[in-house]
Amino acid sequence: MTRYVLSIDCGTTSVRSLAFEAGTGRHQVCASEDVALLFPNPGWVELDPDGLADATIRVTRAAFDWVGAQGGTAVAVGLTNMRETAIAWRRSTGQPVYPAILWMSQQSDPIVARWRAAGYDSLIRERTGCTNHFFWFGSKVAWLLDTHPEARKLAEDGDLAVGTVDSWLLYRLTGGRSHATDVSNGSRYQLMSLAGLSWDDELCETLGIPRRCLPELRPSESHFGNTDAGLFGQEVPITGIVADQQASLFGHGCEDKGDVKATFGTSGVVAVNAGPDATLIDGLVTSVAWEDPAGHTFYEVEGSAFHSGYTIGWLSKRLGTSPPTGLGQSPLGADERVYVLPSFSEMGAPRWPERSGAAITGLGMDTSNEDIMRAAVEAMAFQAYDLFAAMKAAGANQATEVAVDGGGAANDYLCQLLADLFGRDVVRPDVQELTSVGAAKAALRGAGEEAGRYFGQDRDKAQRFRPDSDVSYAQTGYAEWVRLVETVLRKP
């Protein structure tokens, strides 16, 4: 009988399930459902927690059904999820008290301003590796407690539970038996001590978030509970939970200090395995990558370019032109070169320029739509290298290669530019579901099973891009792009 590990992958706009053969890593996407986002006010982004949980239960059932149809058996379940999204529910009934507040939602800006005025910026940063920004979980929960007295009353009575998406889905998948999270997600709460891997009681009190509302913290590879037999007809241990970007790092096989991966989706994220040290670097975020069953903790340093793939989509719709994809593209000369500065709202790490508003520079009378699209792809590469260069203190300079994934990574032109900038091979695996791979790996190891570094991948089928013999085009372009960011996007 073939043994399978199920991987549940909950992203911002969809949730899906995959089944991996425990021995070979071969996998099948079993089901996927879209998730509807809500926009109740400008800058606010929410979703229905019950709708998300119901969709997750359906795709999980589909995975169990698929395994059964193969004559197999499921031995473990892993979960990976979008981070920082805040969900609150009543312990006594399991009913949500407010819609889920998504990671990108901005309604907690007044909380951020209040904390900044109180001088909490450095306290949050030094204790947790996070920053004082609406992006994080903590400010969202504080906003909910401040603006909804019934939620505050539930918290005071001990009947309020809060958590990120993984914690909520774990609660529902186990039939309400488990309120927990792993340390990779926990490190995105603004409330967890990076040094102690525990909730910081002093910080919770200072920020006004009752400690008893929070989930139990556990290693990423550990037993979180069992699937509810009433929902799925069987109890299977849930033994792996890893937040999405950390799961991608793990899924790539970036298990040693200095290993680097870059993800190109709507935003662009570069992360480095920082090893056992929680290194803080200005402009970047330090989190827990994962913790294994033996108690070994791996940290990561990451940075996000907020409008990476978004820029490509925005320009493609307006210009009616696709970005260049081939390696043999003919770039413009230095005097004709076009540059894109993708800062629609915020550009993001590592420079955090003050001025928003994307810009295109270098336009000439004979500039074509194709020239602009090429510049947009080059901006993706420049931002990724900017992040990589900032991470050298966390060991990124030790990397012998850089792994890539996400929809944008399918672009050969982008991958070759990255190789020329990094001065290292860029490796694109034969599988793109790296977050799901990471969750499956964590679940297998959490169940005491073998799962190799490159579980789920066929390294012989990976595409490898090597630095060109002449990298001047990439390097001079990056230098000019940095100059433009510092001049055009800095407030006078």
**CATH number of the domain encompassing residue 219:** 3.30.420.40
CA gap 371, 339 in Å, rounded: 9
The predicted structure's pLDDT at residue 420:
94
Least confident of 40-49, 293-302, 312-321: 312-321
- pLDDT greater at residue 72 or residue 328: 72
Total of domains in the chain: 1
3-state secondary structure of 77: strand
Check residue 375 and report its DSSP letter.
Answer: H
Q: What angle do CA 209, 210, 213 make, to 5 degrees?
A: 105
Label residue 44 by pLDDT band (50, 70, 90).
Answer: very high
Label residue 176 by pLDDT band (50, 70, 90).
Answer: very high
Tokens 């951020």 label which residue?
Answer: 112
Report, as an integer, the average pLDDT of 357-373. Answer: 86
Residue type, 111: I
Label residue 345 by pLDDT band (50, 70, 90).
Answer: confident
Label residue 13 by pLDDT band (50, 70, 90).
Answer: confident
Tokens 């791996």 label which residue?
Answer: 298
Instruction: Identify the domain containing residue 182 by its residue range.
Output: 3-243
Q: Return the half-sphere exposure (C-beta side, CA atoms, 13 A cut-off) of residue 292.
A: 14
Check residue 45 and report its DSSP letter.
Answer: -
CA gap 253, 273 in Å, rounded: 10
Report, as an integer, the average pLDDT of 123-137. Answer: 93
Least confident of 66-75, 210-219, 226-235, 471-480: 471-480
* 359 DSSP β-pair partners: 341
Label residue 491 by pLDDT band (50, 70, 90).
Answer: low
Tokens 């969202």 label which residue?
Answer: 140
Question: Does residue 107 fall inside a structural domain?
Answer: yes
pTM summary value: 0.89
Least confident of 69-83, 232-246, 366-380: 366-380
Q: What are the structure tokens assigned to 296, written together?
A: 């070994």
What does the mean pLDDT of the chain come to? 91
The predicted structure's pLDDT at residue 327:
66
CA gap 167, 177 in Å, rounded: 11
Question: Does residue 284 fall inside a structural domain?
Answer: no
Cβ within 8 Å of residue 82, ≥6 positions away: 10, 11, 12, 102, 103, 165, 244
- pLDDT greater at residue 369 or residue 65: 65
Label residue 492 by pLDDT band (50, 70, 90).
Answer: low
Q: How far is CA 132 from the centre of its chain?
A: 18
Question: Does residue 384 fall inside a structural domain?
Answer: no
Question: Does residue 437 fall inside a structural domain?
Answer: no
Q: Looking at the predicted structure, is the pLDDT value of residue 347 above 80?
A: no
Share of the chain above pLDDT 70, in %: 98
Q: Looking at the predicted structure, is the pLDDT value of residue 331 above 80?
A: no
For 133-153, write each residue's pLDDT tens digit. Answer: 998 999 999 999 999 999 999
Question: Does residue 83 fall inside a structural domain?
Answer: yes
Q: What is the DSSP string of 415-463?
A: HHHHHHHHTSEEEE-S---HHHHHHHHHHHHHTT----TTTT--GGG-E
Q: How far is CA 315 from the centre of its chain?
A: 24
Query: Residues 353, 490: contact at Cβ < 8 Å?
Result: yes
Q: Looking at the predicted structure, is the pLDDT value of residue 353 above 80?
A: no
Q: Looking at the predicted structure, is the pLDDT value of residue 386 above 80?
A: yes
Query: Residues 168, 116: contact at Cβ < 8 Å?
Result: no
Helix (H) or strand (E) holding 484: helix 472-488
Q: What angle do CA 344, 87, 301 make, to 5 degrees?
A: 55
Q: What are the structure tokens assigned to 41, written together?
A: 């006010």
Q: Looking at the predicted structure, is the pLDDT value of residue 238 above 70?
A: yes
Report, as an integer, the average pLDDT of 259-287. Answer: 90
Question: Does residue 403 fall inside a structural domain?
Answer: no
Question: Does residue 198 fall inside a structural domain?
Answer: yes
Label residue 361 by pLDDT band (50, 70, 90).
Answer: confident
Label residue 95 by pLDDT band (50, 70, 90).
Answer: very high
3-state secondary structure of 379: helix
Question: Does residue 186 fall inside a structural domain?
Answer: yes
CA gap 13, 165 in Å, rounded: 13
Residue 91's CB: how many other CB atoms inside 10 A?
A: 17
The predicted structure's pLDDT at residue 334:
64
The predicted structure's pLDDT at residue 346:
74
- pLDDT greater at residue 332 or residue 48: 48
Cα torsion for 424, 410, 482, 399, to the nearest 10°?
-20
Q: Looking at the predicted structure, is the pLDDT value of residue 328 above 70?
A: no
CA gap 414, 265 in Å, rounded: 13
CA-wise closest residue to 84 among 162, 192, 185? 185
For 393-436, write each residue's pLDDT tens digit. Answer: 777 778 889 999 988 888 999 999 999 999 989 999 998 889 99
Q: Looking at the predicted structure, is the pLDDT value of residue 490 above 80?
A: no
Report, as an integer, the average pLDDT of 347-358. Answer: 77
Tokens 């100059």 label which residue?
Answer: 483
